[in-house]
Amino acid sequence: MTTTSSAPGKVYLFGEHAVVYGEPAVPCAIERRATVTVSERDDDHLRVSADALSLDGFTVEYSDGSDQEPDVNVPTPLVEAATGYVDEAVAQARDAADSPHTGFDVEIESEIPLGAGLGSSAAVAVAGIDAATRELGVELDAREVADRAYQVEYEVQDGQASRADTFCSAMGGAVRVEGDDCTTLDAPDLPFVVGYDGTSHDTGELVAGVRSLREEFGFAADTVAAIGDLVREGERALAAGDVETLGRLMDVNHGLLSALGVSARSLETMVWAARESGALGAKLTGAGGGGSVVALDAEDCVETALGLTPDCEESFRAALATEGVRQA
């Protein structure tokens, strides 16, 4: 038997990095999906085939505890993370099904670049857990999938993950996450435009950098708290459907993230290209260090401007994904 599930990526309207410290965040699911197909094996091995999960994709077969690594031309931490998310997702599925030694063939196809700030790891974890548990005859509800996927990111990211990405991917739409409190939100059909610079970065390393800065300097801790205050203001604007205010707050949020050292020249170039072409607001999304920006623009100007920006490899409209994890 073969079972396939998919889960959406995400952009952050507000709150990345600060959410790690218990401040609220509002991520929104977008219609770029990771699809995971799982087949049960008759041994305890895992054979993982990934298309576009990394820059080149990889195929690797190994059993628990193997030191075999895929041979791909991407930074080693990203390779370790990519296989780590699959390993931990399989472990969660085995635990949910009380089947600790089951082997799987796992095939991953993703529209979401790895390390681009668009929730690739969360989507893979969510879809992987859903597919593997269904393959073993166990059906989890979306919230339980989200919780188990959070445990995956917590393990891979050395305890520095938040529930935001995984909850958003599992539930779909706009969500609010503050610590362990996760809720869905009503949201208008926000006119997201995404620009991606073609690079990949290690989320755990960037999160650790903010943690170090926050521990060393009081202003950095204050900046994290200010992001939390901004998110609360943004929630009111979202509830009112005030897209113009949402855009202004996105601009401020980007400035605060830049102060925490997680922006990059390519991100700044894309943010300013979006703003100068009429975006209501624009900011980096995700861990930063490169990757993606998200802007609000109901017209075509921002997508066109980003497409003409040398630092932008790809620009696209990103419809709000109202459905989270689903069986394909």
CATH of the domain at 216: 3.30.70.890
The secondary structure element, H or E, covering residue 177 is strand 174-178
Closest alpha carbon to 24 in 175, 245, 192: 175
Strands (E), 260-320: 281-284, 292-296, 314-317
pLDDT tens by residue, 173-199: 999 999 999 999 999 989 999 999 998
* Residue 254 maps to a domain: yes
Same domain, 176 and 213: no
Cβ atoms < 10 Å from Cβ of 219: 13
pLDDT score recorded for residue 143: 97
Domains identified in the chain, total number = 2
Of 186, 205, 235, the residue at which a domain comes to its end is 186
Same domain, 205 and 181: no
Closest alpha carbon to 106 in 31, 34, 168, 29: 34
Handedness of CA 183, 187, 189, 193 (dihedral sign): negative
pLDDT score recorded for residue 46: 87
CA distance 185 to 242: 15
Same domain, 58 and 181: yes
* Residue 327 maps to a domain: no
Same domain, 212 and 104: no
CATH number of the domain that residue 84 is part of: 3.30.230.10
pLDDT score recorded for residue 54: 43
Same domain, 182 and 196: no
pLDDT score recorded for residue 157: 78
Structural domain that includes position 15: 2-186
pLDDT tens by residue, 265-305: 999 999 999 999 999 999 999 989 999 999 999 889 999 99
CA angle 260, 263, 268 (to 5 degrees): 135
pLDDT score recorded for residue 210: 95
Below-70 pLDDT ranges, the chain: 51-82
Instruction: Based on the residue annotation, tell me whether 165 is a catalytic residue of this protein.
Output: yes
* Residue 125 maps to a domain: yes
* Residue 225 maps to a domain: yes
CA distance 82 to 22: 26
Catalytic residue among 87, 130, 147, 165: 165
* Residue 252 maps to a domain: yes
* Residue 324 maps to a domain: no
Same domain, 46 and 118: yes
Q: What is the b/e burial string over 149-161, where b = at least 16 CB atoms within 10 angstroms of the residue's CB? A: bbbbbbbbbeebb
pLDDT score recorded for residue 85: 84
Global pTM value: 0.89
